C-alpha cells in the first residue's frame, strides 16, 4: 500500500510540475507592466520604415494586456501592419481598433489635433490626433526617434539591462 501511495504522490507532483513548466508566460504576463507592452509596440512600429513616419498619429494604450489603438494609418496595408504588431506582441490578450482608422481623416476633421480646428469637446491633443480626455497619451516618449535610440544604445553599451519584449 505504501508503494502505491508513493507512486500516486510522485505522479501527482510530476503532473503539477509539468503543467507549471508548460505555461510560464501566463504568470510572467500577470506581472508584466503595461508600459512594457506599449514600449514594445512602439519599438516595432519605429523599426518598420513604412510605419515609423506615421508614429505621430498612432496612440497605443495597454490596460492589463488589453491594447487600444487610437488614431489612423496612412493606408490599409499600414493599418494591417500596426494591428498585426499589436496582436503579436508578447503578453497582449486582445487589441481594440474601434478608435483606429484605416486611412487619415479629412483635413479639418475633429480627430486631427492640428490644422487650426482643435480637438472636439471632451478630447485632448495627442501628437497629430485627438483622444478622449480620460485616455493616456503615450506618444510623448516615442516621437523623438534619436533620443530613444541613443538611450537604448547607451544602456546597452554601459552593460545595463537593455529593453526587451519579454514578460520577465
pLDDT at residue 8, rounded to an integer: 62
pLDDT along the chain (168 residues), means of 10: 67 58 55 85 95 94 95 96 96 94 88 76 92 91 47 34 41
Which range marks the domain in which residue 67 is found? 33-157
In a domain, 90, yes or no: yes
In a domain, 11, yes or no: no
In a domain, 167, yes or no: no
Element at 8 (helix H, strand E): helix 2-22
The number of domains in the chain is 1
In a domain, 23, yes or no: no
pLDDT at residue 30, rounded to an integer: 64
In a domain, 129, yes or no: yes
Could you write out the DSSP letters of every residue in the chain?
-HHHHHHHHHHHHHHHHHHHHH-HHHHHHHH--HHHHHHHHHHHHHHSHHHHTTGGGEEEEEETTEEEEEEE-SSHHHHHHHHHHHHHSTT--EEEEEEEESSPPPTT-TTBS-TTT-PPTTEEEETTEEEETTS----TTTS-HHHHHHHHHHHHHTTSPPP-S---
In a domain, 149, yes or no: yes
| pTM: predicted TM-score of the whole model, two decimal places | 0.69
pLDDT at residue 61, rounded to an integer: 96
pLDDT at residue 28, rounded to an integer: 65
In a domain, 26, yes or no: no
In a domain, 14, yes or no: no
pLDDT at residue 17, rounded to an integer: 60
pLDDT at residue 54, rounded to an integer: 94
| Number of neighbouring beta carbons within 10 Å of residue 112 | 22
Amino acid at each position: 500500500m505504501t508503494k502505491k501511495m508513493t507512486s500516486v504522490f510522485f505522479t501527482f507532483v510530476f503532473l503539477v510540475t509539468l503543467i507549471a513548466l508548460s505555461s510560464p508566460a501566463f504568470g510572467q504576463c500577470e506581472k508584466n507592466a503595461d508600459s512594457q507592452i506599449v514600449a514594445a509596440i512602439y519599438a516595432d512600429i519605429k523599426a518598420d520604415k513604412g510605419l515609423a513616419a506615421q508614429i505621430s498619429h498612432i496612440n497605443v494604450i495597454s490596460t492589463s494586456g488589453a491594447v487600444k489603438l487610437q488614431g489612423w494609418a496612412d493606408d490599409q496595408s499600414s493599418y494591417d501592419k500596426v494591428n498585426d504588431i499589436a496582436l503579436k506582441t508578447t503578453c497582449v490578450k486582445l487589441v481594440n481598433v474601434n478608435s483606429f482608422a484605416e486611412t487619415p481623416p479629412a483635413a479639418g476633421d475633429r480627430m486631427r489635433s492640428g490644422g487650426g480646428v482643435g480637438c472636439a469637446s471632451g478630447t485632448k491633443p495627442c501628437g497629430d490626433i485627438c483622444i478622449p480626455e480620460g485616455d493616456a497619451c503615450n506618444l510623448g516618449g516615442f516621437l523623438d526617434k534619436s533620443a530613444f535610440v541613443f538611450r537604448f544604445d547607451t544602456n546597452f553599451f554601459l552593460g545595463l539591462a537593455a529593453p526587451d519584449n519579454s514578460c520577465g
